[in-house]
Structure 1
């Protein structure tokens, strides 16, 4: 049985804040999720205008999106580790203010190379905000029910930004200027950083790691491991994004893939040589209840990105719809996503396993509808609209309750690192999934009428159906429902599996040292 932690190191008992301040903090932290997603989705509408204005070719315009995704994914682990070792308030404010300043500068750029550089730099700034925001949310809302609601709202902000970015970006492009896509982010990010300085309490981020002497903190960062994994991620994502444009048989792509995979293997070997408190990803992280299976489910979850990317191009390039018309037809995704974001209390009634499986089932139904009937404009209402609606409910259930389940199983002291790992899985999975779908679409179109026929896109949706089915089977087989009744671990040395107690009644010591059962 574990002994109570010293008061100064007790990560699960932060000073209580008034409800009004908690709500303001929730809005500020969720805006970071909104900004990061918006800054990418809004550019989907601006890409054609950027191509014309800056004289970009297709490969260069792809990197306007890919440059952000590459650096964002690669620097998440660094950000998560910094948020755990140092005060997450400092990391969050630094990331939000940098994002605002870099986006302001990007709005004044009219040349290809500088805009790609600024997009890569904004990816780094955005990566600093997500793990730190998650860390702060877990600390601000220690109660399981409040935490579930907060994480549900945090997840929904990304979904809302995904579709609202497309619509708002289309409005800027059509009626004002694509420069405002960048400046809008500045108008949100800088006030968030400024308000955060005054309203985020500094002591909320104090943990066992952050209370160590300043000279000793850097030793726990595992700079060697972080550098190895960051470079591996950069090479891997660069190879994946390049493969869809220059070809998968390109020597450059093949070499980068092999080197990046070897570096990832080397990273995990390096981690086994370090003490647990100095590893970038502590070994016990993989043994927290359901962490690994939820990570796999997150890695394979790219349904929204696949659907939005496919239909944005289809509607504009094949059907001839305007950018604004295409954006408006995407609105059901945002409305349904927002409505479904309030389902977090369901995790108090049902196991997250069954809620996530329900979401995956809905995604499979929606994917079949898109595979069968998305190829004609007149099929929007009988096929595409129902698929958007059903699939959006499914993905929101998946996102919301995967987040609730994964943060329920880890100690709050490691929320930053876990948030970084999970976000990296989402980004990597999305990049690989879209690249695979692009390859399938291209190969099918080569023998079935070209890009103006729907055969290639239908094939990608059947592939997507197989991916969702794999998620369903993985969760059905490997998710441990008994972990839903165990208390959240209070310290890194206590994986959930190592805490033994009766499900009906905790002894007195557990009640005083562990947070309330969810």
Structure 2
């Protein structure tokens, strides 16, 4: 007997319905808006990588401090994703999305005029919070606008791919780093205004008669605050560890406190009814959810590791111009964007085999980078590694993203989007800290930063991580639920207070 057709998200029990009369042109406009928000979020990080040398001079900051220009954004972005997801699920994803894009524009406008390192770091942290408001809400709206499983898979893939082409090196090379922020403001503010009219009004959910006080309780403020503080401390600890030493009190104290708070959060969630918990414990038992979460730790880690290590090598050791370094990185963005259109493959093949293919590509690419990093080895080693590796990372990103939304009920779209994107950020933060420590340790014993041995060791570590991920997917991913109806929402009687 053939399996039943996938349940459309707008038809899922208990889910809000958007008008089913949206034209294809309107859907494409909405997808473009959501993709633009994803582009701006990625632009906020990638554009400043190449601006760090000029920022160090302009703001009179040390190299060790300049890392926080990137980390301040990642810290708050990753930590506030969960509360953003809860707001999108409990209240209105449209309001959350518009607020996030508007905040992104206003704060970026101010950051462009700042010339003080404390002000820049503070505004970068606030930009991270605004950016965190856009992603879960965009994903919630996206799965409603594209209820058909095939269209939804394609849309999620394109949405993810737009972040891969974000780069602001042209502003750094031909204008100044201030224009990185002003560009975001120039784009974000009109988009936020247009979204008020373009995004369809959100229909009233089944719980629209629920009091505001009751809805506020469903945000699980205690649990969200506990986890947010834990994640801030954890990311701070692992980011500081490679620079200040893992044995210092500045690293160990927040690391221990964060672990205790995470344990407290897990226990707290078990005490709450499922409809009032930020992350109900049953979430981790949805089909393949845990293994997909683990898989999400890898794509950004691989991209950011390659970009951070090689761009620094090319500019600081080989003295390549900024624009030349960025041009040499173009294959990464081009291949990632191209592979983002493979979303429809997940309706034909099991995501397991697509993700494993992507991991196989990463094994080849990471090996090539580890063995060939010299100034004359770009074309024989690095270029093919960029092509193969970026294609593999995007396959993993796209199809893990599609599969994890299929694993969980539609009413949790915002929270699931937050969990998935949080995994992307945490995998990058923790992995880069580990690679930085390995690189520094090897360089202290073998030729210093002028030699490639430390960077090679870091990439061998990355290869080991890729192999572990491949083993986990091969063993723990169950294909029995592929292409079956989505996990249904809980009955209304479980979701509403009497």
Q: TM-score, normalised by structure 2?
A: 0.94
Instruction: Give distance in 2, aligned partners of 1:393 and 1:187.
Output: 31
Helix, strand or coil: the match of 1:299? Answer: coil
- In 2, the alpha carbon distance for the partners of 1:285 and 1:177 equals 46
**CA shift at 1:337, angstroms?**
1.3
Structure 2 match to 1:503: none
Cα distance in 1 for partners of 2:393, 2:384 equals 14
Matches within 5 A, 1:103-118: 103-118=108-123
Classify 1:31/1:186 alpha carbon distance in 2 versus 1 (closer, same or farther; 3 Å): same
Deviation at 1:203, TM superposition (A): 2.0
Matching residue of 2:343: 344
Structure 1: which 5+ runs fail to align? Answer: 495-518
1:400 aligns to what? 398
Give how far 1:12 is off. Answer: 6.5
Q: Work out which of the residue numbers 48, 57, 68 in structure 2 matches 1:52.
A: 57
Q: Which residue of 2 aligns with 1:128?
A: 133
Tell me the residue number matched to 1:362.
Answer: 361
CA displacement at 1:82 relative to structure 2 = 0.4
Q: Partners of 2:484 and 2:281 in 1: how far apart?
A: 21
1:320 and 1:488 mapped to 2: Cα distance?
Answer: 52
Task: Give the 5 Å matches for 1:324-339.
Answer: 324-339=323-338
Change (3 A) 1:183 1:25: same
CA distance in 2 between partners of 1:218 and 1:198 (Å): 27
Give 1:357 shift: 0.4
Unmatched 5+ stretches in structure 2: 1-8, 493-498
Report deviation, 1:219. Answer: 1.1
Partners of 2:240 and 2:38 lie apart in 1 by: 27
**Aligned residue for 1:505?**
none
The alpha carbon displacement at 1:283 in A equals 2.0
What displacement does 1:9 show? 6.8
Match status 1:292 vs 2:270: no
Aligned: 1:41 with 2:37: no
* Structure 1 residues 210 and 237, CA gap change in structure 2 (3 angstroms): farther
Alpha-carbon shift at residue 6 of structure 1 (Å): 13
Q: Which string of whole-angstrom CA distances, capped at 9 and with x for unpartnered residues, describes residues 26-50 of structure 1?
A: 0101111111010110001111111
Q: Counterparts in 2 of 1:2-401, with a 5 A limit? A: 10-11=14-15, 13-16=17-20, 17-161=22-166, 165=167, 169-203=168-202, 206-208=204-206, 212-301=210-299, 302-374=301-373, 376-401=374-399
Shift of residue 479 of structure 1?
A: 0.6
TM-score normalised to structure 1 length: 0.91
Contact 1:370/1:384, CA 8 A, preserved across alignment: yes
**Distance change >3 Å, CA 210–CA 448, structure 1 → 2:** farther
| Distance change (3 Å), C-alpha of 1:158 and 1:252 | same
Partner Cα distance (2:90, 2:285) in 1: 21
In structure 2, the CA distance between the partners of 1:8 and 1:420, relative to structure 1 (3 Å rule), is closer
Deviates more, 1:330-339 or 1:450-459: 330-339
- Once the two structures are TM-superposed, the CA of residue 104 in structure 1 deviates from its matched residue by 0.2
For the 8 Å contact 2:347–2:483, the answer to whether it is kept is no
Distance of aligned partners of 1:357 and 1:191 in 2 relative to their CA distance in 1, 3 Å threshold: same
Q: Secondary structure at the match of 1:28?
A: helix
1:512 corresponds in structure 2 to none
CA contact (8 A) 1:306 1:434 kept: yes
- Corresponding residue number in structure 2 for 1:516: none
**Aligned to 2:438, which of 437, 440, 449?**
440
- Equivalenced residue count is 482
1:9–1:207 Cα contact (<8 Å) kept: no
Change in CA separation of 1:255 and 1:278 when aligned onto 2, cut-off 3 Å: same
Cα distance, 1:379–1:350 mapped onto 2, change above 3 Å: same
1:97–1:189 CA contact under 8 A, matched in 2: yes
Asked whether the 8 Å contact 1:151–1:403 carries over to 2, the reply is yes
After superposing the two structures, state which structure 1 stretch, 292-301 or 321-330, moved more.
292-301
Distance 1:229 1:380 in 2: 43
CA gap of 1:457–1:202, structure 2 versus 1, over 3 A, is same
- Deviation at residue 286 of structure 1 after TM alignment: 1.1
CA distance in 1 between partners of 2:212 and 2:66 (Å)? 43
- C-alpha distance in 1 between matches for 2:280 and 2:208: 17
Contact 2:61 2:117 in 1 (8 A): yes
Q: Give the distance between the partners of 1:195 and 1:455, measured in 2 at CA.
A: 51
Match of 1:452 among 450, 453, 457: 450
Q: Deviations over 1:382-402 (max 9, x none)?
A: 000000000011011101111
* Contact in 1 for aligned 2:114/2:120 (Cα 8 Å): yes
Instruction: Assess if the C-alpha contact under 8 Å between 1:363 and 1:395 holds in 2.
Output: yes
Residue 170 of structure 1 deviates from its aligned partner by 2.1
Answer yes or no: is the 8 Å Cα contact 1:407–1:415 preserved in 2.
yes
1:415-434 to structure 2, matched below 5 A, reads 415-434=413-432
Does structure 2 conserve the Cα–Cα contact (< 8 Å) formed by 1:86 and 1:210? no
Note the C-alpha offset of 1:214. 2.3
CA contact (8 A) 1:12 1:412 kept: no
| Cα distance, 1:89 vs structure 2 | 0.2
